[in-house]
């Protein structure tokens, strides 16, 4: 569930909370646009602009697929100038050669965190959770020992990764892959694993454990499983028909892309299925995502993620005051590839080359799927899907450039 990490062998969502990846399509008619989006919707793109935008993004995806060894790459973009359009390169399944499609389901990893944070903030708006209350109020005695104390950590700090809690993923990652890839984890088990580790040194430190705890708080105050509460408050009201919790099911229902990671195993042929590192690719689609819980387990599609982010930023899920709380940010872990990135409550914010910032989240899952949903300042959105995590700095830079290209295409730069 790492939200982004430039090394493919890292299993879940990485501390570089800004390295994002794949998915934010726009079903523009389903969610009211903001006032700014409504104004920009009256613009008419100059002749050739939309084709140029598609070509520019297509060139980025070509590079990821051909030079950087990503088997399949897809994007869906929606904006006030060119409407909704998609670009895809490569294949969704190396065995069958089925072409990659922006309509396929995939594991969205840490994009799940925005869903969870939205429900926590909804409960705060209802007066049922206090964002600045200590975690101890809701989960007495759970966070204690080894330098950790729930009496000194607030709910807000969980959501913005300033809690000082380590990531349970780091406690699991050193174990042999096949010992944990398909096994079930309970949320409190994940918390206990995290608490065996010392506190991280940086003030801001990305940890999926924060969101596992946030989910337990939701359960405590509502009396319902957090997954059911997210379904009731977000998934069903928005009609997100392809978004679901897989539970212990290790496969993905319906049309979906496969995911891949470099991990040789007995019988692998080094001459086939390799990325640019030369390491054979292993199919990582089958995975038990209880390891991520409500910090990274959701399956979705770009179209659903688009609808979700448009609803969130269009005011359908939260009153303006509480959306503003989600957008109160702190500096994120200073990454060489992501200068200026900031983190709010389940939201990443990062500067764009054409001015302003995008808001959204990205996700990485251990099997190789990468997902990102992002909204630009004019209401444009992009959803990117990759079937393998970029495993070099060069590939990571190209991926981030694709996000920027989608939201800062030529017409916008010339305005």
Please indicate, yes or no, if residue 258 is contained in any of the structural domains.
yes
Q: Enumerate the β-bridge partners of residue 361.
A: 373
Please indicate, yes or no, if residue 337 is contained in any of the structural domains.
yes
- 3-state class (DSSP) for residue 88: strand
Please indicate, yes or no, if residue 341 is contained in any of the structural domains.
yes
CATH of the domain at 56: 3.40.710.10
Please indicate, yes or no, if residue 8 is contained in any of the structural domains.
no
Domain of 143, in residue numbers:
28-414
Q: What is the pLDDT of residue 67?
A: 92
Please indicate, yes or no, if residue 324 is contained in any of the structural domains.
yes
Q: What is the pLDDT of residue 30?
A: 28
Please indicate, yes or no, if residue 404 is contained in any of the structural domains.
yes
Rounded Cα distance, 282 and 304, in Å: 28
How many helices (H) and strands (E) the chain has is answered by 14, 14
Q: Cβ neighbours of residue 122 under 8 Å, at least 6 residues apart?
A: 233, 317, 318, 322
Q: What is the domain count for the chain?
A: 1
Please indicate, yes or no, if residue 255 is contained in any of the structural domains.
yes
Active site includes 110? yes
Please indicate, yes or no, if residue 19 is contained in any of the structural domains.
no
- Along the 415 residues of the chain, how does pLDDT read in single tens digits? 654 443 333 334 333 332 333 222 212 222 233 333 333 344 566 778 899 999 999 999 999 999 999 999 999 998 888 888 999 999 999 999 999 999 999 999 999 999 999 999 999 999 999 999 999 999 999 999 999 999 999 999 999 999 999 999 999 988 888 889 999 999 999 999 999 999 998 889 999 999 999 999 999 999 999 999 999 999 999 999 999 999 999 999 999 999 999 975 554 443 333 444 567 899 999 999 999 999 999 999 988 888 898 889 989 999 999 999 999 999 997 555 567 899 999 999 999 999 999 999 999 998 999 999 999 998 888 989 999 999 888 998 899 899 999 999 755 544 4
Active-site position among 6, 28, 101, 110: 110
Rounded Cα distance, 404 and 2, in Å: 21
Q: What is the pLDDT of residue 2?
A: 54
């Amino acid at each position: 569930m790492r939200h982004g990490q430039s090394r493919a062998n890292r299993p879940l969502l990485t501390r570089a909370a800004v390295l994002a990846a794949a998915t934010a399509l726009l079903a523009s008619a389903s969610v009211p646009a903001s006032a700014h989006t409504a104004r920009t919707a009256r613009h008419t793109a100059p002749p050739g602009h939309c084709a140029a935008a598609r070509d520019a993004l297509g060139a980025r995806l070509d590079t990821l697929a051909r030079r950087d060894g990503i088997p399949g790459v897809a994007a869906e973009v929606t904006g006030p100038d060119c409407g909704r359009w998609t670009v895809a390169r490569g294949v969704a399944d190396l065995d069958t050669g089925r072409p990659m499609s922006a309509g396929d389901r995939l594991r969205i990893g840490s994009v799940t965190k925005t869903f969870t944070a939205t429900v926590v903030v909804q409960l705060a708006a209802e007066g049922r959770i206090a964002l600045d209350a200590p975690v101890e109020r809701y989960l007495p005695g759970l966070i204690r020992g080894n330098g950790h104390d729930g009496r000194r950590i607030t709910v807000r700090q969980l959501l913005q990764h300033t809690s000082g809690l380590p990531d349970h993923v780091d406690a699991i990652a050193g174990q042999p892959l096949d010992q944990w890839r398909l096994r079930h984890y309970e949320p409190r088990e994940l918390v206990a694993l995290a608490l065996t580790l010392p506190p991280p040194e940086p003030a801001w430190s990305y940890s999926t454990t924060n969101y596992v705890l946030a989910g337990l708080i939701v359960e405590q105050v509502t009396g319902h499983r957090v997954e059911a509460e997210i379904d009731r408050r977000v998934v069903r009201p928005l009609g997100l028909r392809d978004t679901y919790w897989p539970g212990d099911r290790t496969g993905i229902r319906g049309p979906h892309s496969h995911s891949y990671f470099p991990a040789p195993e007995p019988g692998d042929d080094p001459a086939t299925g390799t990325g640019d590192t030369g390491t054979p690719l292993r199919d990582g689609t089958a995975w038990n995502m209880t390891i991520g819980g409500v910090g990274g387990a959701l399956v979705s599609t770009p179209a659903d993620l688009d609808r979700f982010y448009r609803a969130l930023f269009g005011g359908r899920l939260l009153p303006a005051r509480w959306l503003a709380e989600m957008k109160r940010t702190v500096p994120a872990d200073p990454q060489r590839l992501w200068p200026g990135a900031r983190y709010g409550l389940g939201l990443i914010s990062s500067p764009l080359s054409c001015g302003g910032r995008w808001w959204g989240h990205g996700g990485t899952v251990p099997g190789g799927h990468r997902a990102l949903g992002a909204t630009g300042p004019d209401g444009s959105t992009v959803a990117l899907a990759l079937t393998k995590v970029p495993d070099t700095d060069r590939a990571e830079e190209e991926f981030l450039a694709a996000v920027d290209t989608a939201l800062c295409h030529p017409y916008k730069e010339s305005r």
